[in-house]
Amino acid sequence: MSNPSKPTPPAGAADRLDVLIRDKSFRGADGNTLNAISEIAFSAEAGSFTTLIGPSGCGKTTTLRIVLGLDRDFEGHVQLPGGSGRTAAVFQEPRLLPWRSVEDNIRLALPAELAGTDLEPLLQTLGLGEMRQRYPAELSLGLARRVALARAFAIEPSLLLLDEPFVSLDEDTAGRLRRLLLAVWSARPTTALMVTHNLREAVELSDRIVFLTPRPGRVRGIVDLDRPQAERDLVWRQARIEALDAAYPGVL
């Protein structure tokens, strides 16, 4: 179980995300215990973008569930960022209510104190200005995922969790969505934690990349990218991808 008697976090920890999962195990259908995570530990500074990358089954999504508070049966602790105290999550599926318009789907997520928020600037940034009265059935998957991003940012979260938000999209569509995500995140800074299999995606978006081993998941290495995202041209990104692929073979 999560440890209620964890030591006092260091100064400044309340402004960042600190994750320590010493052990996470599941009981399989055959009755045997499956060790999913051996030890995953990392931090994400306030307003930064951190990505977890590793093979299927290494504990990436399990880590997100633990950070979200959906799974408390683990050894370790999670220290959430300060700020509004709100956490937003964007999943692989947009999870929009089909009988609600785009704007209504976004407004349903707003806390009471933000109920009257003007959504127009956010919708315009994400290219949804003309879509606000459309219904999910009228949207492509790419547009539906833009709505999911708008819903997440609209609540002004202290922490944004993204579980492979661009998976199954063609590269052109995924590339446009990554650029839109960066535009919104730059204008509305929040601490972001993303799970992906895509090294190119991680290099384009991240301040910090946490590489994980196959199951049971452990930290294989942590790499900080010190160039601002807006200054990462194609040549720089390709050089970083090649360097990281050499340092962590099998990831690309």
Per-residue pLDDT of 196-207, as tens digits, reads 989 999 999 999
- Least Cα distance to 240 among 203, 188, 189, 191 occurs for 203
- Strands of the sheet containing 49-53, edge to edge, are 75-79, 17-27, 33-44, 217-224, 208-212, 49-53, 191-196, 159-163, 87-90
What tokens does 213 get?
């081993």
Greater model confidence, 89 or 2: 89
- Pairing mode of beta strands 217-224, 33-44: parallel
- Least Cα distance to 169 among 153, 180, 159 occurs for 180
If one counts every other C-beta atom within 10 angstroms of the C-beta of residue 31, the result is 6
Q: How confident is the model at residue 88, as a pLDDT?
A: 94
Q: How confident is the model at residue 151, as a pLDDT?
A: 96
Distances (CA, A) of 153 to 39, 47, 159: 31, 13, 10
Top mean pLDDT of 3-7, 92-96, 218-222 is at 218-222
- Pairing mode of beta strands 49-53, 17-27: unpaired
Report long-range pairs for 133-140 (Cβ below 8 Å, ≥24 apart).
133/101, 133/102, 133/103, 134/101, 134/102, 135/98, 135/99, 135/100, 135/101, 135/102, 136/94, 136/96, 136/97, 136/98, 136/100, 136/102, 136/105, 137/98, 139/102
CB-count burial class (<10 Å; 0-12, 13-18, 19+) for 1: exposed
Decide if pLDDT at 3 tops 70.
no
CA atoms within 13 A on the CB side of 188: 18
Q: How confident is the model at residue 4, as a pLDDT?
A: 37
pTM to 2 decimals? 0.89
Q: How confident is the model at residue 5, as a pLDDT?
A: 36
pLDDT band at 6 (very low <50, low <70, confident <90, very high): very low
Instruction: Output the average pLDDT for the chain.
Output: 89
* Mean pLDDT, rounded, for 155-175: 90
What tokens does 131 get?
């879509």
Q: Is 22 helix (H, G, I), strand (E, B) or coil?
A: strand
Q: How confident is the model at residue 1, as a pLDDT?
A: 42
